[in-house]
Structure 1
């Protein structure tokens, strides 16, 4: 569900921020832009944000929160090998960055834009958690809230501290063999599986090498190194229920974690792009670019993937 919002943000938000300034290489003081707040843009952003918030919550309430019960909490920290928690952090990170970009595009100063982006992300995510607390199928999760705060803090801390995003969070997906065994849980179509099949999702911590290593002027500023995490063999949250193939034979899957390392590119740092295009790309580049990768997991050991991860 959070990933659904995140995917829509990755498409919708950049369209509003395409004219913003490029991500700086040095810290930005928290002062008002020389041009000041651009009233037309600012009002448009306020109206658009309020509309997005209202419409999205109404849609989620209709589709996901049909059965209401007294407010309650539950502990889901051990579910899905914590893939959902990483997804919460990535969603909060992307929403914080998107809100920040919209404010900067509107002429709001750096410090206020960072704060507004973070608060908007936490407001949205907290509202969803409260909805969960009243939902029959879920409950208010402290673990989810911690992940939401962590994703927001990752964006705000970097932007306040260095004026740039040295570390970003990205998303990847591949088809897996597991949804047919529990289509109601993992999804029947590819689009739904991108949101619900945690076996197919990967989350990447992408580090810009030129920002953390003592490199020379000829080193490519756009080169990143990504560290990925995923899980496999999961057809249930805590444990796998019994499932059978078409011949009636029981099928068992072993649950295990997967760790990846892969090169990547931060296209927003390519100097030949215009400032507006750099800002657009920085906001929209949520998906991991396919590239060779090394994987380690305790079941299959070390593996090399030439381009995209194989179907499992």
Structure 2
């Protein structure tokens, strides 16, 4: 249930930032000076717009959830889903919290709020959204408050906040990738009937990437591309149920069995927000919108098929 909501929150956040990036006054190409908002303090119009937009989005989201998803309220309870979906959902929670923290931070900086306050606000806004969803799940029939989800939410937020406080940049970021798989037709109500729904619910098709900026961690020279990243990815396959796969049979009554296994990847990537010819406002938007992994050659390892090379996009499983 929360997968739908987390996806909607991310889309809304990126849309807001895109609108701001288009409206912002760009600096001359190649300039590395602070943006106008950094020099002039709080930009009142932008700041008020961000506050109103964020409050409206939060309120509308809660009202829609209460009407569509949480119609039947039960006493607050918790449940342990830490072993479901090969922990793909937990990685997803961390990645979403990271992206929301970064988005909230960029909104505040674009509004002229100082660095430390922007970092704190971004992290708190992300935790507010995520915690609200978990509390709602705690009152939902068939669901429950998940301590594992909350730990993942805090971890994703801490990854952003800790780096921004400590080094003033995101040396390591979390990204998302997706490919179509063969599994949704077997359980469309669980894994999704359409591609859009499958992007949120089919954990077999999702990949989450830990993206490291090489120029920030290696002793490289001035000619080294500052935008070059190296990503380590994680995914799972063969899953048509949370804890285990339910019995499935073909038209002839023969059992259909899928082996559940983990997948690990390594792939080059690009952090386009580090391209200096872009304006600071555009760099802020790109830094948030880069939640999606850029397709690139990758090397995969898993216990079923050992080592595999993928020229560009990951193949349909």
Shift of 1:249: 2.0
Describe the shift of the 1:7–1:244 C-alpha distance in structure 2 as closer, same or farther (beyond 3 A): farther
Pick from 103, 111, 119 the counterpart of residue 114 of structure 1. Answer: 119
In structure 2, stretches of 5+ residues that fail to align are none
Compute the displacement of 1:40 (Å): 1.0
C-alpha distance in structure 2 between counterparts of 1:13 and 1:147, whole Å = 25
CA distance in 2, matches of 1:231, 1:180: 17
Find the partner of 2:97 among 92, 106, 115: 92
Q: Report the equivalent of 1:11.
A: 14
Does residue 74 (structure 1) correspond to residue 79 (structure 2)? The answer is yes
Contact 2:214–2:229 at 8 Å: present in 1 too? yes
Q: Secondary structure at the match of 1:205?
A: strand
Q: Residue 110 of structure 2 contacts residue 281 of structure 2 at CA under 8 Å; is this kept in 1?
A: no
Contact 2:14 2:103 in 1 (8 A): no
Q: State the alpha-carbon separation in 2 of the partners of residues 132 and 230 from structure 1.
A: 25
Which of 141, 146, 155 does residue 136 from structure 1 map onto? Answer: 141
| CA spacing shift, 1:295–1:6, aligned 2, 3 Å | farther
TM-score, normalised to structure 1, is: 0.94
Contact 1:10–1:286 (8 Å) recurs in 2: no
CA distance in 2 between counterparts of 1:221 and 1:13 reads 27
What is the aligned residue count? 305
Which whole-Å CA distance do the structure 2 matches of 1:307 and 1:291 have between them?
5
Distance apart, 1:20 and its partner CA: 8.5
Structure 1 gaps, min length 5: none
Among residues 175, 191, 199, which one is paired with 1:170 in the alignment? 175
State how far apart, in whole Å, the 2-side matches of 1:51 and 1:201 are.
30
Partners of 1:265 and 1:114 lie apart in 2 by 24
Structure-1 separation of matches of 2:151 and 2:115: 25
Shift of 1:245: 2.1
* 1:202 aligns to 2:207 (yes or no): yes
Give the alignment partner of residue 188 of structure 2, picking from 183, 203, 208: 183
**1:289 aligned residue:** 294
Deviation at 1:10, TM superposition (A): 5.5
- TM-score when scaled to structure 2? 0.92
Q: Shift in Å at residue 124 of structure 1?
A: 0.6
